[in-house]
Chain A
């Protein structure tokens, strides 16, 4: 009996050893397998203003056989934190998450509510992260953006109007001028914008650009002229504008003798031309209308 127990103990000990060894190895293999399944992924975060809507765009891709492949269906968390840190345990500043599409892209469009909540903020630090995905290693990307402000002042002295555009931005909560930056000045026209001022002019150290408004430009019929200062952000594709309407006295030149000419506006067409063309058109189209009524007459005639 004792012998039996001894043998049994030895057998059990060996068995435990073998099982432990196998289990350890299996576990090791399993770990190795799960590690090899997880691929590295690279993430990029960009900010754009598209049609006036602020948008954060996350792009995620991985390398497969040396080729870049978009990462689809990846959950990406977005954070905004004004103190430029985020707490991963409390998720302070968490904005929400998004799922990447077939192109490996996910977009977060700033809603009106989001804009309202952040209206007093002028510097933004956005962070995008993906954690604990079964297929890909954790990855993150960040971007900093700041609000830029354009102001436009127009002063008129001795019939000469001067437009001053000022460009500022916030740095660590303080509004500072943005120097050496191009601002474009325009006069609003019916179908477009007419540029004025020096082409390619950049702001001075005060973030300002000054230009004289062309004195011979024709104003709108309500005797105003609308000026626009535009800052175009090449990184974000955004346009930031300030506009101002000023009283304006320069109106279209009206030559009483030549008011109605071939080169004037449609409603000032020469009277003989209007009469001749309207008469011809009415006559011909009147006849056409009459001919169309004849078609109905043909149908009616069959019943007669």
Chain B
């Protein structure tokens, strides 16, 4: 399929619809898929074992202390929240802007968003020493607390993301229900249940279109809120490194950047491992996503300069100590690696057309994703090691932070869990929304509705 291939008549349109549908039907895992799933499951099992140990013995199995009570768990939480913003970017922002090449990317972005936000919610529970007291936050929580705001907004965003994934998915599930033969009974039952007795009626399409329109609008403020509120968890304190009015915009910009990178990485992997997918994720999609990524990277660079240049110019008190640690001190190698490989090099590479070819942009996206994870670590940990109270009398162990194996394995399990959720989605559901793709190709609605499920 060429980019924006358009049918000349109805019969061509019908042919296209059938071809698209057959192309994106879920495929069984090959050998590589099985190895991948086994690997993810193994990481999850090790993480679960260590989480049971953490539940049994408490947070003492981690490297966390009274000083650094937010370590890699919270870094990971912020990372997940950031990634999840991609759903609103691709599905909502590009949809409202009527961008004509976004259709193949919408579903994968929503799946990434849902998986990320689910695990963001879970990892925050993992960080709790007493998760059994979670309910107390709803009973005794203070509406003045940013933590309460964050819980509310995470739950809201998760619900909206699930709905935004589900509504456009219903016609595709119905197609699977009617056309996928030789599948286990449970799989057929699942399609039947989830397809809500879909019959391709005009009324049903009208409802779905209306729901998508509402969701596309409402998800944008909620998405901005989720990452802004997450940034306020930090910015509402006086701590050096966090005491910033720039934090909301800075976090949102970073989130859009890493989210776009995650979609590019997913596109590349799907294109490599599933036949025919290269017809949907074309070089032009990579090129446009590359341009979008470079634009978002520039926005993030702008906020990063604001974030570090102004305090760096003033170099006052505790803030100066914190910045020295980042610029030339203990965290300098990580800080500069993240800035150079996670932002500067991707910007330079993606400015060139050749850099926006699938492989280079995939590599740059991986750099951006890894850089984003470590960037969150640099936001959380160094500041925690600069408390406002004196540290002189603290035991030596409380002055440093080194995540334990248990902590790493639980964190890795959460990442593996998110990847497994995406993988299983791809295994059982069409990853491209054909009816949205057809709309994008200017196929008339009545042709789509009449022929999509035939």
Contact A298 B218 (CB under 8 A): no
Nearest to B159 among chain A residues (CB) is: A288
Bound: A114/B211 CA distance, A? 69
Q: Taking the complex as formed, is A301 at the interface, i.e. its CB lies under 8 A from any CB of chain B?
A: yes
Partner-binding segment picked from A77-85, A137-145, A195-203, A279-287 = A279-287
Quick check: is B141 within 8 A (CB to CB) of the other chain? yes
User: For B201, what are the chain A residues with a Cβ–Cβ distance below 8 Å?
Assistant: 301-302, 304
Query: Given A264, A266, A281, A298, which contacts B204 in the complex, CB threshold below 8 Å?
Result: A298
- When the two chains form their complex, are residues A281 and B152 in contact, meaning their CB atoms are under 8 A apart? yes
Residue among B140, B152, B163, B198 making CB contact with A288, cutoff 8 Å: B163
Choose from A263, A270, A299 the contact partner of B197 (Cβ within 8 Å).
A299
B144, A291: Cβ atoms under 8 Å? no
> Contact at A302–B199, with CB atoms within 8 Å?
yes
In the complex, whether B402 has a CB less than 8 A from a CB of chain A is no
What 1/0 flags go to B206-242 for Cβ under 8 Å of A? 0110110011001000100000000000000000000
- In this complex, the member of A263, A270, A294 whose beta carbon has the largest number of chain B beta carbons within 10 angstroms is A294
Interface size on B, residues (CB 8 A): 29
A247-302, CB < 8 A from B = 262-266, 269-270, 273-274, 277, 281, 284-285, 287-288, 290-292, 294-295, 297-299, 301-302
Taking a contact as CB atoms under 8 Å apart, the answer to whether B143 and A298 are in contact is no
* B207 & A266 in contact (Cβ 8 Å cutoff): no
Q: A269–B143 contact, CB under 8 A? A: yes
Chain A contacts for B152, CB-based, 8 A: 281
Q: Is B68 an interface residue (CB 8 A)?
A: no
Q: Nearest A residue to B139 by beta-carbon distance? A: A266
B214 near A295: Cβ-Cβ < 8 Å: no
Whole-angstrom CA separation of A263 from B143 in the bound complex: 11
Task: Verify if B203 is at the interface (C-beta below 8 Å from A).
Answer: yes
Q: Does B378 contact A (CB under 8 A)?
A: no
- Which residues of B324-346 have CB atoms within 8 Å of chain A's CB atoms? none
Q: Could you tell me the distance between the alpha carbons of A265 and B141 in the complex, rounded to whole angstroms?
A: 9
When A295-B196, A298-B170 are in contact, do A263 and B144 touch as well, CB less than 8 Å? yes
For B218, give its contact among A264, A274, A284, A301 (CB under 8 Å).
A284
Bound Cα distance from A295 to B210, whole angstroms? 11
A290 neighbours in B (Cβ, 8 Å): 214
Q: What residues of chain B have their CB less than 8 Å away from a CB belonging to chain A?
A: 140-144, 149, 152, 156, 159-160, 163, 166-167, 170, 196-199, 201, 203-204, 207-208, 210-211, 214-215, 218, 222
9 pairs of A and B residues whose beta carbons are closest in the complex = A266-B142, A302-B197, A301-B203, A302-B199, A299-B196, A262-B144, A269-B143, A298-B196, A301-B204
21 A/B residue pairs, CB under 8 Å, sorted by A = A262-B144, A265-B142, A266-B141, A266-B143, A273-B143, A273-B144, A277-B143, A277-B149, A287-B214, A287-B218, A288-B160, A288-B163, A290-B214, A291-B167, A291-B215, A294-B167, A295-B166, A299-B197, A301-B204, A302-B198, A302-B204
